[in-house]
With several copies, the nearest count.
Chain A
Amino acid sequence: MQSTTEQYSFNFLTEIPEIVGGSSDELKLKLGEFAGPLDLLLYLIKQEQANIFDIPIAKITNSYLVYIRLMKSLDIAVAADFIVMAATLIEIKSKMLLPRDPAAASDAEEFEDPRKELVDQLLEYEKFKSAAQMLYERSTVEQAVFKRGAIESDDNNAEISATVFDLLTVFQKIVLRHKEEVSLEIEREEISLADMIKALRKRIFAELELNLLTFFEDFHTRRELVTAFIAVLEIVRTEEVKLVQKATFGDIFLKKVGVGSN
């Protein structure tokens, strides 16, 4: 399910991400909420105080991977999009390590910085991130403004305004409700006692020994369980089947009489 994608952030919504530079060269990452791989990348670039137009790709890739590993070690589902970005970074890094083809290098047109596409994407994303910040501030101000309480004259409640999304949602609920009703009807004409006994007998004869618990597990409704229970009593009473308990408080088995009885 794709909706898991953004759940990586749920544990630390309030935390501000931070890389703590320890005494060793090992980077320590303090987890915070990142809205996506671009967000994380932008953050790492700022941490490195790097120029966005000249990203030290090897270093940034390493930090990025450290972060992802950390997320994994903390059992946070790392979203596919984060992993895709890791692959992209590694690809760019390897491209940059390749010695430039001297023939192509002379032709300036030919050479394109492998980082360019990523930089463009980052710059575009950065704008919307700032816009999101602006929206956040606006909503904070708006939350300080209140409208009047309900007044007697208007017959409010009971009425809701609707969008197309509501229309579909409501329709789906009706369909679900409808399905539930149908399946309930089916359950009502559920297995009869005679059929239950038949089924039980078949299983005992096939398996020779049947754990009662396993047998009962197949039934979910109260009604089915009652029928199953009566079937067990009935089969023990009328057939060559007995109830066996191998240990005190142990599981109870249904056994065909005369087969490996102890």
Chain B
Amino acid sequence: MSEIETEEISTEQPDEPASEAPARSAALVMAIAEAIIFVSDEPITSKILGEIIGEDKQTVQAAIEELQKEYEERSGGLQIREIAGGWQLATRTEYHEEVRKFLKTRPSAKLSLAALETLSVIAYKQPVTVPEILEIRGVQSASAIKTLLEKRLIVTKGHKETVGRPMQYGTSKDFLIQFGLNDLSDLPSIEDFEDLSITALDQQQ
């Protein structure tokens, strides 16, 4: 990748600064490159970085190599890697165990839309059975219910005394905690938002 020697250019005046920007210090180019690599979803090439920063590719390449060296030397939790022809900020492999451990314990309050829908039906219609949820949502909710049970947001509430004695579900104490409710009467009703214009509610998508 670095067949082109860049030392000469970098120390002196990066005389032909690409677009309108005047000569930037190497430290500044490093800092901006670092910020952009950080926010990028994908590995980013020196070329693209150069276009954004307004410096030529070589200057940027040299700056990032310097940055990479800096990361090596301080041996913190992160590294700059060259991947698929671009640059990327990533955790150092040494700490993969702790990182993995953390990623597993992330907040459990996050729900898929299917789970959220199912939860809302259970919250407002409890106690409610699976067939009843199906009727309201128009979709099978089995896996959503499983998720909600696993996350302890819902609990079983005994069998309903009808044909087939289907299981009924309701929300749990954890549900109240997760959603910051004192008790179920704290659940907002449609009337609570009437002032805020209900029509707007379904516009929002």
Contact = CB atoms under 8 A, between A and B. Distances in A.
Given A144-B96, A145-B96, A127 B116 contact: no
A164 B187 contact: yes
B9 interface: no
Contacts of B92: 145
Contacts of A13: 112
A162 B140 contact: no
Contact of A164 (B89, B143, B155): B155
Interface string A20-57: 00000000000001111111000001100101100000
Contact of A134 (B93, B111, B188): B188
A101 interface: no
B112 A165 contact: no
Q: Interface residues of A: mostly helix, strand, loop or mixed?
A: helix
A168 B179 CA distance: 12
Given A121-B138, A144-B93, A161-B110, A166 B198 contact: no
Contacts of B139: 5-6, 35-38, 79, 81-82
B2 interface: no
Interface string B82-126: 000000111111001001000100011111111011011101100
Interface in B1-40: 35, 38-40
B179 A128 contact: no
A163 B172 contact: yes
B35 A160 contact: no
Contacts of B172: 163
B195 interface: yes
A-side interface size class: 35 or more
A169 interface: yes
B201 to A, nearest CB: 5
A160 B111 contact: yes
A146 B110 contact: no
Given A9-B112, A148-B89, A135 B179 contact: yes
A243 interface: no
A141 B181 CA distance: 12
A150 B117 contact: no
A35 B186 CA distance: 26
Contacts of A148: 38-39, 89-90
Contacts of A82: 139
Contact of B111 (A36, A80, A124, A159): A159
A141 B79 CA distance: 14
Contacts of B200: 3
A171 B205 contact: no
Contacts of A168: 120, 187-190, 193
26 contacts: A3-B197, A3-B200, A6-B139, A7-B143, A34-B113, A36-B138, A38-B138, A45-B201, A49-B204, A85-B138, A121-B138, A126-B193, A134-B120, A135-B119, A141-B180, A145-B91, A145-B180, A146-B39, A147-B89, A148-B38, A148-B39, A149-B38, A154-B103, A165-B156, A166-B116, A167-B179
Interface of B: 35, 38-42, 81, 88-93, 96, 99, 103, 107-114, 116-117, 119-121, 123-124, 136-144, 146, 149, 152, 155-156, 172, 178-181, 186-191, 193-202, 204-205
Given A141-B93, A174-B121, 14 more contacts: A3-B197, A6-B141, A9-B114, A33-B113, A127-B193, A128-B137, A129-B197, A132-B119, A148-B89, A160-B110, A164-B186, A164-B187, A167-B120, A181-B138
